[in-house]
Structure 1
Amino acid sequence: MNISLPQNDSNPVQRQTALVAARRDYRYNYTYLPNGGAMAEKVPPQDQSLGKFPWLQDALSLLLRIDANQALQDVNETGSVRKLRRFAWLTRVTRFLNNPKRAGFLKFLLAKVLPIIRLVQRLQDGKPPSIEQNSSQTPSAKVNDIHQPLLETLISEVKDPRDHAQEQQKLDHQALAMQAKQAQDSLSDYSQLFQAYNDLFQIIYLPCISQQFWTDRAFVAQRVAGANPLVLEQCKRLPDHFPVTNDQYQAVMGTADSLQKAGAEGRLYITDYAVLNLLEPGTFPDAQKYVYAPLALFAVPAEGSGSLTAVAIQCQQQPGSDNPIFTPPPEGSPQSEQWAWLMAKTIVQIADGNYHELISHLGRTHLLIEPIVVATYRQLAPNHPLSALLRPHFEGTLFINNAAISGLVNDGGTVDSVMSGTIESSKELSVKAVQGFPYGFNDSMLPATLSRRGVDNVDQLPDYPYRDDALLVWNAIHDWVESYLDLYYLSDQDVVEDTELQAWLAEMVAQDGGRMTEIGETASDQEQPSLRTKAYLADMVTLIIFTGSAQHAAVNFSQSTYMTYIPNLPLAGYRPAPKSTKATTQDYFNLLPSLKQAETQMDMTYLLGSLYYTLLGEYGEEHFTDTRVQPLLKAFQQQLDAIGIIIDERNSVRPTFYDFLHPNKIPQSINI
C-alpha cells in the first residue's frame, strides 16, 4: 500500500496485526430492519461515548424532568420498592460525582439543570417558584453549586413529581374540547384554547414559536429554516394533480403576477409529501390516527425581501371535491375560513414532522452513517490515516442508535405512540431513506442535492438560511478533508492500491454487510463499485463527516425549538383531512393530539434537541500523531470560527433567523 504513514506506524506487520485485532474486537452480529438497513446488535465499550456513563439515562430523567412533564419511573410504586429505586438513583449520581474525570461534563450538565434543581428546592421550602421563562438566560452553574444533601433531598424527599400538576394531568381530549367550545371562534383569541398545551411547560421554557405558530410567516419560515428545511423544491410547472388556478394564485400574490410568470422566472416552489402514503395509519391507544400526504405551493414575490409566500395547500395527493385547495384567506374573511386555513397548514406540519423524523433524521443521518461506522472499525486498522480522521466523528453513534431502536423505534415505544403511522410502516419508510430516498449516497453531496431541488440559485430564492449556512460548513469540511488526504494519497493510484480502503467500501455494499447502494465509483471492467480517485474519496469522506456532524445538528437540535410545542408541529393528526374550506374551532381542535400525546412528544423532542456533546473540529491535542496534520487542523478550526462570525452577521440582517448550523452548535458526531 503506497501511502505515507507517520514513522511509528509504518511497519506493515504492525499494521496487519492492528487490522486483525480491530476485526476481532469489532466483529458484529447484524440485525436487519425490513427490506434492508444494517443495524449493529452489539456496541463496543470503546464507542459508547455518552453510553459509557451507565447512570446517564437515569440522571437525565432525574435532573431534566423533575416536576415533570414525564414522571419518574417509580410514580406508582410505594414503600420499600420506591426507597430501593431512589437509593439506586442516589448511588449512580454519587458514583458520578466522585469521579473527577467527569467534572467537565458535570459542569456542562449543571449549567443546564441547576435552575430546575433550585426551583424544586424552593417548592420544597413552600416558596413560590422563581425561574426565568427562557432557561438559556440563566447564568452558568458552577460544579460546587450542588452538594450531597441537596441531591439526597431531590431523590428521597421530593414529592411525587406529578402532585402539583395533577389537575393538568387530568385534562384529556374531552375536557379540552369543552374548553375549546367556550373559546371565542377567533384566531386572535387563541390563548384560552392553547392554555392547556402551554401549561405543559412548567419547567422548560415555552418556545418562541408558541407566540406565532399560526401566522403564515412562521409557517413558510420553517420550510427554509425549520426542523426539516430539506423538502422544498423549485417548480417550473405545477403537477397535474395539484390544480391551483391562476385566479387562486393572483388572489394571494396580486394581479401583477401570474403562475406562468412566476414559474418561468424560477419563483415557484413546492413541498410534496407523496412518500408518506407508504405509511399505514396507526392508533393510540384506541384513537385513530390519520396519514396525510399534502402538497403546498409557495412563491417568491417579484419584489420584496425574497422570502417565500404561502400560496396554496392540498391536503392529499389526488384532487377532487372532497380534497379542496386551500388558500390564505384575505383580511376580513370569516373566521371559519381562517380556521380551515390553519388546519391545512397544520396538516402540512404533521406531514413535515413525519418526513423529518423518519427520513431526514433517523434514515438520512443515524441509519445512513451506521454501516460506515461498522465498516470502518472492521476494515480500517486504528492507525490507518482515514480511520484516525473518521473515528471521532463516529463517537456515540452506535450507542445512540442502539438506544433508539430499543427505546424509541420499538413496538409500543415513543415513535409508535406519537407519530402518524404504525411502527412497522414507519420503520419501512426509514429503510427506504437509507436505501436512497430521496437521493442515493453519491447524489447526496450537498451542492448536488441543492441543485437537483432547484434551490441553489440565491437570486431566485434569496431567503434560504439552511442552504447558505450549510454550504459554508460543507466547504470548510471539504477543504479540511482534501488537505488531510493529500498527506497520504499522492495520486489516484494510491487510492486504488489501498487494500484496506477497498475492503472498507466492499463491507459497506456487501449483502452480508452494510448493503449500501449507489456508493463508490463504477467502471466498465468491474462488477462492484470501488474507490478510484482522490477527488471522489474527498467528496465521500466530506459527506460522511458532514452528515454525522452538521446535517444531524440541523435536523436534531431544531426539535426543541419547533417540535416541543405541539400546536406548531404535531406528529400525528386525529381526524381526516378537511373536505371543506370552512371549519370551526372544534374541527381544528379535533385534529390535534391529546395532552398525553403532546406531553410524550414534548419529552422526546426536548431531550433529543437539548443535549450537546463534543464540538466539530475539536479532535484533542494528541489525537493525530502525525505532526503534519496540526497546521491543517488549525486552519480548519479557524475557518469554523470565521463561519460563526459570518452566521452571526447574517442573523443580524436576514429576514429569517437561523443558528442551528453555527459551528459552536455542531457536535463532532451523532451522539444524541
Structure 2
Amino acid sequence: MKTIPVDDRKNPLRIFDFASFAETTALLFIRPELLWSKIRNLAPDLTICDSMQALEVHNFRLHTESRKRAKSDSNARDMYFSKNIGLRRDWYTDAAFGQQQFTGTNPTTITLAPRRWIDEFTSTAQAQGRADIISLLTEKAESLYMQDYSDFRSSIGISPGEKIVSDGRHGCSSVALFHLEPEGKLHPLGIVLDYKGSIEESVTIFNRRITSNVNGDEYMDWPWRYAKMCVQVSDWLRHEVAIHLVNTHLVEEVIIVAAYRSFGPNHIIFRLLEPHWSTTLSLNKAARETLVPSIIIGMTGLTASQTYAFLKAAYDRFDWKGLYVPNDLRTRGFPVKCLDEPKYHNYAYARNISKTWNIIRKFVATVLSKEYAGGDAAVQRDASIGIFCDEVRSRKGGQLTSFPAIETLDELIDFVTMCIHVAAPQHTAVNYLQQYYQTFVPNKPSALHFPIPQFLSELCSFTEEDLLSALPLKRPRDWLLMAQVPYLLSFEVPEESTILHYAETTSSSRATPTVIRSAAQVLASDLRAFIDTVIQNSNELDDQQTPYLVLDPSRTAISILI
C-alpha cells in the first residue's frame, strides 16, 4: 500500500483517546523519574509493593482513586478507572486461568491435544512419578486440550537451546496442557515453561491439584503460579502480534487494498465490504510507524528482527478457509453442533462467534444470491473476482497464499462473510478485553524480568520473591507500558460504530442498493435477537464475576477502529 484513499485517512488523534495517547507517548520519550507524578505514581513503589498482596492493594487503591477523581472530572480517567481482573480475589487461581483460555483476550487458539503431546507429557509424568497424571492422560485423552507456543524459536530463527531475551526482558515458548472436565471446567494439568526442541530438554511442572474440585493452597503455590505466568507471557506475544495484529489488522488491510484495485465503487462486493473498512488503513499505518517499532518491540523478549520474523511467520501461516469459524472450531476440537452441550458451556466465545458467523453469512447470502442469480456461472463471469483473488495471492500484492480461487456462489458468500467476520466480531473479541485482563500486569505481563529456571529443582524452590523478580518492579517504564497499552487499545465502541447500528441505518438508507437495504432489515432483526443469546451464554458461565458480553451486537465494532 503506497497511499491511503483520502476518504479513509484519519489522524491518530482522531483514532485514539487524546489523554491516553499523550501518556503513552510520554512513556516512550521521557525517563520514568522525569515523568509527571500523575503517571509515575501509577507504577508500584518497590519499597512498598514487596508482595503479591501489596500489588493487589496498590491496584485496588488506584482503581478507587481513579473512580473518585472521575466523579468531579470525567477527563481525569486513566487506565485504572475501569475494573480489571486484579480486583478479583481469585485472579491467580486455576479456575480464572483456565477460563481466560475460553473468554479472555485470546480465546482463539485453545485446541485439542494431539497424540504426540499427550505421549510427551505422559513420559515426563512417568519420570516425575506422577501416577495420577498418567492415569488421567490415559483415560481422558479425548478431553485434553492445550495452548501450544512451542514453535516460537523456529518462527524467529534461533536454535532450540538459544535464550529468548532482549534488553533484560525474557520471553518463553511455553506449552500448557488442560483437561476439559465433563461439567465444563478447563483445568490446567501441566506446563512446559520454555520448550527447547524436546520436552526432555525443557522444564515441565505438573499441577498438584489433579482436578478442579481438589482443595489446595493455590495462593502459596509459587512454582505453579510462575509456570502459569510463563504461559501468559507466551500468549501475550501470540495474541498481540499474531492473533490481533496479523490475523485481523494486516489480513483485513490486504482485502481492503485488493478490493480498491479490483472492484469499482458500485460493485456489489465493494458495497458490502466498504462499511467495514472505517479507520483501518490509517490505524495500520500508525501501527507500522509507531506501535510495533517503538512500543511492542520494547515490551517483549524479542529483538526487532525477531519480532518482524515472528510477524511474517504468523502471516505466512494464516489459513484463510481453515479459519472460517465452523472449520476453525471443528479443527480445534469444538464442533459447532456440540457447543450447547454442558461440556462446552464455558466456551462463550465459540458459542457466540459461531452464531455471529451464521447471522452474517445469512445476510451476505441473501444479497449475493439475488445479485448473482445465475449461480456459479454468474460468479465465474465476473472477471473482477478473479482479478481480486490474484491480487490477494500475488507475490507483488497481498502474498496471502492460502487465499482460495473463488469459482462458486458458496465460495463467494464464504469469502465476503469472512471479510466482515475478521473486521467486526473477530477483531472485537480479541481487542476490547485487553484493558480488563492486562492492565493488572501480574495477570499477563508481556515479558519476564528474570531468567527462566533451567531445572525443575530450581523451579520447585521458587518463593514469592522469585515471582516478584519476574515482574518489572525495578523497571517502572516497562510496567507502565504493559498497563497503558491495553488501555490505549480498549476504549468502548461508540454506539454509531457498532454492527447493530450499521444494520439499522443501512436498512433505512436510500443511498444503499435495494438488495442490501432489504437484507439489512433482517440482519438488524437477527442481531437484536442475538443480544439475548449473548446475555444468556454469559449467564450460563461458571464464572459469574466477569461477564462475557464483548460480542453483543450493540457493542461489537463495525470495523477495526482501534
The answer, yes or no, to whether TM exceeds 0.5 is yes
Q: Is the aligned partner of 1:628 residue 2:530?
A: no
Give, in whole Å, the separation in 2 of the partners of 1:595 and 1:609: 22
The amino acid that maps onto 2:421 is: F
Q: Aligned in 2, Cα 1:322/1:640: closer, same or farther, shift over 3 Å?
A: closer
Question: What does residue 69 of structure 2 align with?
Answer: none
Give, in whole Å, the separation in 2 of the partners of 1:41 and 1:603: 31
Question: What does residue 639 of structure 1 align with?
Answer: 526
The amino acid that maps onto 1:577 is: I
Maintained 8 Å contact 1:180/1:586: no
State how many pairs are aligned: 509
Q: Aligned in 2, Cα 1:500/1:315: closer, same or farther, shift over 3 Å?
A: same
Q: CA deviation at 1:588?
A: 0.6
Question: What does residue 272 of structure 2 align with?
Answer: 389
SS for the counterpart of 1:403 is helix
Q: Is the aligned partner of 1:548 residue 2:427?
A: no
Give, in whole Å, the separation in 2 of the partners of 1:488 and 1:335: 60
SS for the counterpart of 1:311 is strand
Maintained 8 Å contact 2:439/2:482: yes
Pick from 327, 343, 357 the counterpart of residue 474 of structure 1.
Answer: 357
Q: CA deviation at 1:543?
A: 0.8
SS for the counterpart of 1:576 is coil
Q: CA deviation at 1:179?
A: 4.6
The amino acid that maps onto 1:553 is: T
Question: What does residue 471 of structure 2 align with?
Answer: 592
Pick from 539, 555, 560 the counterpart of residue 435 of structure 2.
Answer: 560
Q: Aligned in 2, Cα 1:328/1:193: closer, same or farther, shift over 3 Å?
A: farther
The amino acid that maps onto 2:151 is: V
Q: Aligned in 2, Cα 1:484/1:167: closer, same or farther, shift over 3 Å?
A: closer
Q: CA deviation at 1:74?
A: 10
Q: Is the aligned partner of 1:222 residue 2:75?
A: no
Q: Is the aligned partner of 1:447 residue 2:326?
A: yes
Identity %: 25
Question: What does residue 21 of structure 1 align with?
Answer: none
Give, in whole Å, the separation in 2 of the partners of 1:165 and 1:383: 49
Q: Is the aligned partner of 1:61 residue 2:18?
A: yes
Pick from 316, 320, 326 the counterpart of residue 206 of structure 2.
Answer: 326
TM-score (norm 1): 0.70
Give, in whole Å, the separation in 1 of the partners of 2:510 and 2:311: 34
Maintained 8 Å contact 2:12/2:286: no
The amino acid that maps onto 2:483 is: M
Provide structure 1 residue ranges, at least 5 long, that are not aligned to the other structure: 1-39, 77-159, 184-189, 522-530
Deviations 1:541-570 (A, max 9, x none): 111110111110011101111112111000
Q: Is the aligned partner of 1:651 residue 2:538?
A: yes
SS for the counterpart of 2:442 is coil
Question: What does residue 16 of structure 1 align with?
Answer: none
Question: What does residue 314 of structure 2 align with?
Answer: 433
SS for the counterpart of 2:171 is coil
Provide structure 2 residue ranges, at least 5 long, that are not aligned to the other structure: 67-77
Q: Which has the larger Rg? A: 1
Maintained 8 Å contact 1:249/1:259: no
Question: What does residue 191 of structure 1 align with?
Answer: 53
Question: What does residue 71 of structure 2 align with?
Answer: none
Give, in whole Å, the separation in 2 of the partners of 1:268 and 1:73: 42
SS for the counterpart of 1:309 is strand
Maintained 8 Å contact 1:197/1:598: no
The amino acid that maps onto 1:292 is: C
Pick from 488, 492, 498 the counterpart of residue 607 of structure 1.
Answer: 488
Maintained 8 Å contact 1:415/1:423: no
Maintained 8 Å contact 1:41/1:402: no
The amino acid that maps onto 1:505 is: C
Pick from 504, 510, 515 the counterpart of residue 394 of structure 2.
Answer: 510
Maintained 8 Å contact 2:432/2:490: yes
Q: Is the aligned partner of 1:371 residue 2:254?
A: yes
Give, in whole Å, the separation in 2 of the partners of 1:69 and 1:514: 31
Maintained 8 Å contact 2:190/2:204: no
More displaced 10-residue stretch of structure 1: 205-214 or 365-374: 205-214
The amino acid that maps onto 2:549 is: D
Q: Aligned in 2, Cα 1:623/1:224: closer, same or farther, shift over 3 Å?
A: farther
SS for the counterpart of 1:664 is coil
Q: CA deviation at 1:644?
A: 0.8
Deviations 1:317-363 (A, max 9, x none): 23347613231467566987x11111000000010111101110011
Question: What does residue 291 of structure 1 align with?
Answer: 171
What aligned pairs does 1:239-278 form with structure 2 within 5 A after superposition?
Answer: 239=117, 240-242=119-121, 243-245=123-125, 251=132, 258-263=136-141, 266-277=142-153, 278=155
SS for the counterpart of 1:42 is coil
SS for the counterpart of 1:443 is coil
Q: Is the aligned partner of 1:213 residue 2:170?
A: no
Give, in whole Å, the separation in 1 of the partners of 2:201 and 2:387: 57
More displaced 10-residue stretch of structure 1: 450-459 or 566-575: 450-459
RMSD over aligned Cα atoms: 2.9
Maintained 8 Å contact 1:395/1:669: yes
Question: What does residue 408 of structure 2 align with?
Answer: 533
Deviations 1:448-484 (A, max 9, x none): 0111111224345442111100001000001001111
Q: Aligned in 2, Cα 1:327/1:577: closer, same or farther, shift over 3 Å?
A: farther
Deviations 1:600-635 (A, max 9, x none): 122211111114241115054437543233221110
Deviations 1:288-342 (A, max 9, x none): 222211111111234xx31111111111223347613231467566987x11111
